[in-house]
Amino acid sequence: MNQAANEVLLVDDEPQVLRALSQTLSIEGFNVITASNGQHALDRLEPDFKGVVVTDINMPVMDGLELLAQLHKLDADIPIIVLTGHGNISIAVDAMQRGAYDFLEKPFSSDLMLGTLSRALEKRRLTLENRALKRELDAQPAGVRIVGNTPAMKDLRALLYDIKDLPADVLIHGETGCGKELLSRYLHFQSERQDKPFVAINCGAIPESTIESELFGYEAGAFTDAKSKRIGQFQYADGGTVLLDEIESMPMSLQIKLLRVLEERCIQPLGSNKLIPINVRIIAATKTDLKALSDAGEFRADLYYRLNVLQVKIPPLRERKEDVPLLFEHFTQVAANNYKTQVKSLSAKRRQWLLQHDWPGGVRELRNLANCFVLLGEDRAFDDSSPDHPRAPLTLAEQVSEFEKTLIRGELRRCGGRLKEVQDNLGIARKTLYEKMRKYHLDKNQFRSSDSDG
């Protein structure tokens, strides 16, 4: 048993009560620290205290309520359980309003005490785990982040650092949803090219009939609809980086032209006889084995070898599950910031599920789940009817609706349910506000303060 994770600081001025509680908890495996008054408790509290505090209310020197206030100055998230005498419920309620985790009225059973402590310690564990994850995220460089602390991800970041400014193209290989574009952006924005354009092109999403003009541009009159000159993506990205995603989807007819661009660093727009020099770094990304495709005659071998100068392989999420909690915390922070809402801690049960799931959809699947969690809450984001899979990703309409609901709810709370202020702040008509409140089952009375005028 991890003793540090089961620390309990007992505070009571009655020696016999302190001794009895200490013995009971020690037998149950708790690491017990005792103090006879509030000041003594503060003196005994270590900066990295990982446990909970159980304190009596009526004590000399410093009573339980003052100790509660002092503890919250040190760490507002320490769970504090207060002990009250029979009939002192009003004092216990006051303590709860000041931030106490729970209260126990004397005399209480050992089972009640142990159950309350277990829940409080679990809350403390999750809080400290979230703090550790936030610290790890804050330690990452600003901007685009490659999140993960497993050896594979540390090696990956070290490789990217070593190659970020090398004058060579890069081939990135990774499964669908593993973050190939994000890694490409990281490589660009950590490099000396960061102030120049980053252009991402999905080779599988552009029609074969237009992909050449999209990449290389065209002169006016080059074809029927070419009424004016157009600069291609390669020329636009001059000095920067071009990501060719799903490079395996590039038509064979264009692969030879791309090979020429890579070798000569020049492009020739459609309808032009002039070669235009360009300074771009090419990052090609693929989810397939290009060597196998080239051996099968489905991808040009010379282009494969030209691209495969610097190869970066992204490990799938199922092979680095230790990174999942950190990634989930990162995605929930991003989503909470985007949707301007607060995020509650994930339960231990769901955290365990995160570590057990195989993530067939990779990082993209985890990000979608984090968005659902922020917008819908834990119970709705995780689909219990299908325990092996989280809820399906939200559609655009669902995300818009949830964002709108969150925005209106937040404004209602901030304005204390005063609809005139809400409609003014949101810039919508009264009727529209009423309709949306009905749609989202929002009742102004849930948010009203004592001086609300409706």
- Model pLDDT for residues 5-25, shown as the tens digit of each residue: 689 999 998 888 899 999 989
Give the architecture-level CATH label for domain 397-446: Orthogonal Bundle (1.10)
Q: Is residue 302 classed as helix, strand or coil in its secondary structure?
A: helix
Give the architecture-level CATH label for domain 318-394: Orthogonal Bundle (1.10)
Domain with CATH 1.10.10 in the chain: 397-446
CA distance 69 to 91: 14
Domain with CATH 3.40.50.2300 in the chain: 4-128
- Is the pTM value of this prediction over 0.85? no
Instruction: State yes or no: pLDDT of 140 exceeds 60.
Output: no
Note the pLDDT of residue 248.
Answer: 94
Q: Which fold has domain 4-128?
A: Rossmann fold (3.40.50)
User: What is the mean predicted confidence (pLDDT) over 391-401?
Assistant: 66
Pick the CATH number of 151-315 from 1.10.287.3510, 2.130.10.10, 1.10.8.60, 3.40.50.300: 3.40.50.300
Residue pair 413/382 in contact by the 8 Å Cβ criterion: no
Amino acid type, 410: G
280-332 per-position pLDDT tens digit: 999 999 999 999 999 999 999 999 999 998 999 999 998 898 888 889 988 88
Most confident of 31-45, 75-89, 235-249, 385-399: 235-249
Residue % of the chain over a pLDDT of 90: 34
Domain with CATH 3.40.50.300 in the chain: 151-315
Ordered DSSP codes for 321-389: GGGHHHHHHHHHHHHHHHHT---PPPPHHHHHHHHH---TTHHHHHHHHHHHHHHH-HHHHS-TTSTTS
Note the pLDDT of residue 453.
Answer: 42
418-452 per-position pLDDT tens digit: 888 888 888 888 888 888 888 888 888 877 754 44
Instruction: State yes or no: pLDDT of 393 exceeds 80.
Output: no
Q: Give the number of other CB atoms < 10 A from CB of residue 87.
A: 8
Domain with CATH 1.10.8.60 in the chain: 318-394
Taking alpha carbons only, the member of 235, 249, 343 closest to residue 298 is 249
Q: Give the number of other CB atoms < 10 A from CB of residue 233.
A: 19
Residue pair 23/10 in contact by the 8 Å Cβ criterion: no
Instruction: State yes or no: pLDDT of 197 exceeds 90.
Output: yes
Instruction: State yes or no: pLDDT of 123 exceeds 50.
Output: yes
